[in-house]
Structure 1
């Protein structure tokens, strides 16, 4: 009997983000770029490159987890608009970006991708933001 591949987070996603929480399907992570509040949802399934590589149930669960995360994240950040996208041109592993955008932020209203150089979080600032995100998304 052949063994199925196990989920492994792509090294680039691991290096460029902080873990927040494992949800039912996805790993929720904070991008290490303090210019924008920026989350990642990464389905914990092996070999998923495209949305349609997931089962119908996983596709539905991903939609549910977008809703679980997006509304409280928007309230927490007070942003004008959430940008949600799945690109995968640099990292082939399927992942979804949830970026809080506000008028006057860096490169508003243009896209965040390819704009300037990343500004990493100070670890204490990232940890405090992660704590706020967890409280907002999964209140006790």
Structure 2
């Protein structure tokens, strides 16, 4: 499993925007303005489950998810954090980091598959990407 063989699933490519690359994962913003929502994708080919990663990479994955959650909460405060690695539709290993608020578009149910995504307006997308990049790079 080399990084050179890594290919992002086309659905993740279409639904998200690349924010930054951390040591293990690419951090991507879900293009759905209804929710503060990041997706972490380990840059290793052939991964489907978290248990497919060696123990040291699993630990790094959770460290990066924790960082993403803290950054997301600092720029888009929320009441509840949802983490998920479902993979029922997109098999490639990826972790959802979603901030939830009581009364949001899917509350109290899961965000996955709820309604239609509402893409960010171009200026809002640029602003959110900048906030995330500034917080994740420093």
Contact 2:49-2:93 at 8 Å conserved across structures:
yes
Query: So what's the TM-score if we normalise by structure 2?
Result: 0.93
Following TM superposition, by how much is the alpha carbon of 1:125 offset from its aligned partner in structure 2, in angstroms?
Answer: 1.3
Query: Aligned equivalents of 2:87 and 2:117: distance in 1?
Result: 18
| Structure 1 match to 2:16 | 17
Contact 2:37-2:97 at 8 Å conserved across structures:
yes
RMSD: 1.5
**Unaligned ranges ≥5, structure 2:** none
Query: Aligned equivalents of 1:50 and 1:72: distance in 2?
Result: 25
**Unaligned ranges ≥5, structure 1:** none
Following TM superposition, by how much is the alpha carbon of 1:75 offset from its aligned partner in structure 2, in angstroms?
Answer: 2.2
Following TM superposition, by how much is the alpha carbon of 1:104 offset from its aligned partner in structure 2, in angstroms?
Answer: 1.5
Query: So what's the TM-score if we normalise by structure 1?
Result: 0.92
Following TM superposition, by how much is the alpha carbon of 1:135 offset from its aligned partner in structure 2, in angstroms?
Answer: 2.0
Query: Aligned equivalents of 1:83 and 1:26: distance in 2?
Result: 18
| Structure 2 match to 1:50 | 49
Following TM superposition, by how much is the alpha carbon of 1:12 offset from its aligned partner in structure 2, in angstroms?
Answer: 0.6
Of residues 63-72 and 40-49 in structure 1, the stretch that sits farther from structure 2 once superposed is: 63-72
Deviations 1:111-139 (A, max 9, x none): 11121111111222111101111222333
| Structure 2 match to 1:127 | 126
Query: Aligned equivalents of 1:92 and 1:81: distance in 2?
Result: 26
Give the aligned length. 137
Write out the 4+ residue segments of structure 1 that deviate beyond 3 Å after TM superposition.
Answer: none
1:105-120 correspondence runs (5 A): 105-120=104-119
Whose radius of gyration is greater, 1 or 2? 1
Contact 2:7-2:45 at 8 Å conserved across structures:
yes
1:49-128 correspondence runs (5 A): 49-128=48-127
